[in-house]
Structure 1
Amino acid sequence: MGIDDRIQELEEKLEKTPVNKATETERGRLKGQIAELKEEKQKKQKGTGDTSGYAVKKKGDATVALVGFPSVGKSTLLNNMTNADSDTGAYEFTTLDVNPGMLKHKGANIQVLDVPGLIGGAADGRGGGTQVLSVVRNAEFVVIMLDPEEMREDEIKSELYNAGIRINKHPPDMKVEKKGRGGINISTTVDLDIQEETIKQMMQQRGYTNAEVIIREELDLDRFVDGLMRNRKYVPAITVVNKADMLDSETRKEYEDKYDLLISAEKQKNLENLKDEIFKGLGLIRVYMKEKGEDPDKDEPLILTEGDAVEDALEILPGDMKDRFKKAKVTGESSKFPEQKVGVEHELMDEDILELNLRHI
Structure 2
Amino acid sequence: MGIVEKFLEEMARSEHSRSATEYHLGLLKAKLARYRAQLLEPASKSGPAGTGFDVQKSGDARVALIGFPSVGKSTLLSKVTHTQSETAAYEFTTLTAIPGVIEYKGARIQLLDLPGIVEGASQGRGRGRQVVSTAKTADLILIMMDATKSDEHRRLLEVELDAVGIRLNKSKPDVVFKRRTTGGFNTTVKLTKTDERTIRLILASYKLHNCDIMIREDITTDEFIDVLIGTRKYMPCLYVYNKVDAISLEQLDKISREPHSVVISCEMDLNIDYLIDRIWDELALVKIYTKKRGAHPDLSDPICLRKGATIENVCNGIHRSLAANFRYALVWGKSSKFSPHAQKVSLSHQVQDEDVVSIFTK
User: TM-score by structure 2 length?
Assistant: 0.90
For each residue in 1:72-121, what CA deviation from the matched residue of structure 2 results, as whole angstroms up to 9, or x when unmatched? 10011111111421111122111111111111111111111111111111
Q: How far apart are the structure 1 equivalents of 2:349 and 2:210? A: 40
**What SS does the aligned partner of 2:301 have?**
coil
CA gap 1:237/1:175 in 2 versus in 1, 3 angstroms? same
Q: How far apart are the structure 2 equivalents of 1:101 and 1:56? A: 11
Q: How far apart are the structure 2 equivalents of 1:149 and 1:9? A: 42
Query: Runs of at least 4 residues of structure 1 off by over 6 A?
Result: 11-14
1:11 deviates by 7.0
- Tell me if the contact between 2:292 and 2:358 (Cα under 8 Å) persists in the aligned partners: yes
Structure 1 counterpart of 2:332? 331
Structure 1 counterpart of 2:47? 48
Structure 2 counterpart of 1:112? 111
CA gap 1:321/1:210 in 2 versus in 1, 3 angstroms? closer
Structure 2 counterpart of 1:355? 358
CA gap 1:11/1:339 in 2 versus in 1, 3 angstroms? farther
Structure 2 counterpart of 1:346? 349
Which consecutive unaligned segments of at least 5 residues does structure 2 have?
Answer: none
1:13 deviates by 8.3
Structure 2 counterpart of 1:170? 171
**What SS does the aligned partner of 2:53 have?**
coil
Q: How far apart are the structure 2 equivalents of 1:137 and 1:11? A: 31
CA gap 1:61/1:7 in 2 versus in 1, 3 angstroms? farther
CA gap 1:127/1:319 in 2 versus in 1, 3 angstroms? closer
Q: How far apart are the structure 2 equivalents of 1:29 and 1:114? A: 38
Identify the match of residue 25 of structure 1 among 20, 23, 26.
23
Structure 1 counterpart of 2:6? 6
Which consecutive unaligned segments of at least 5 residues does structure 1 have?
Answer: none
Structure 1 counterpart of 2:282? 281
**What SS does the aligned partner of 2:190 have?**
coil
**Which range moves more in the overlay, 267-276 or 138-147?**
267-276
Q: How far apart are the structure 2 equivalents of 1:8 and 1:267? A: 50
For each residue in 1:37-82, what CA deviation from the matched residue of structure 2 results, as whole angstroms up to 9, or x when unmatched? 0001111297534678822221111111001111110011111111
Structure 2 counterpart of 1:237? 237
1:7 deviates by 4.0
- Tell me if the contact between 1:327 and 1:341 (Cα under 8 Å) persists in the aligned partners: no
1:318 aligns with 2:316: no
Q: How far apart are the structure 2 equivalents of 1:128 and 1:85? A: 21
1:149 deviates by 1.9
1:12 deviates by 8.5
Identity %: 36
Q: How far apart are the structure 1 equivalents of 2:50 and 2:205? A: 32
For each residue in 1:126-174, what CA deviation from the matched residue of structure 2 results, as whole angstroms up to 9, or x when unmatched? 1221121111111111011111122321111111111111011122211
CA gap 1:211/1:201 in 2 versus in 1, 3 angstroms? same
For each residue in 1:191-227, what CA deviation from the matched residue of structure 2 results, as whole angstroms up to 9, or x when unmatched? 0132322111110111212112111111111111111
- Tell me if the contact between 1:10 and 1:34 (Cα under 8 Å) persists in the aligned partners: no
1:323 deviates by 4.1
1:331 deviates by 2.2
**Which range moves more in the overlay, 268-277 or 164-173?**
268-277
Structure 1 counterpart of 2:75? 76
Structure 1 counterpart of 2:254? 254
Q: How far apart are the structure 2 equivalents of 1:9 and 1:171? A: 32
User: TM-score by structure 1 length?
Assistant: 0.90
Aligned CA-pair RMSD: 2.4
- Tell me if the contact between 2:64 and 2:135 (Cα under 8 Å) persists in the aligned partners: yes
Q: How far apart are the structure 2 equivalents of 1:256 and 1:305? A: 27
1:252 deviates by 1.4
Q: Mapping of 1:127-276 within 5 angstroms?
A: 127-151=126-150, 152-181=153-182, 185-193=184-192, 194-259=194-259, 260-276=261-277
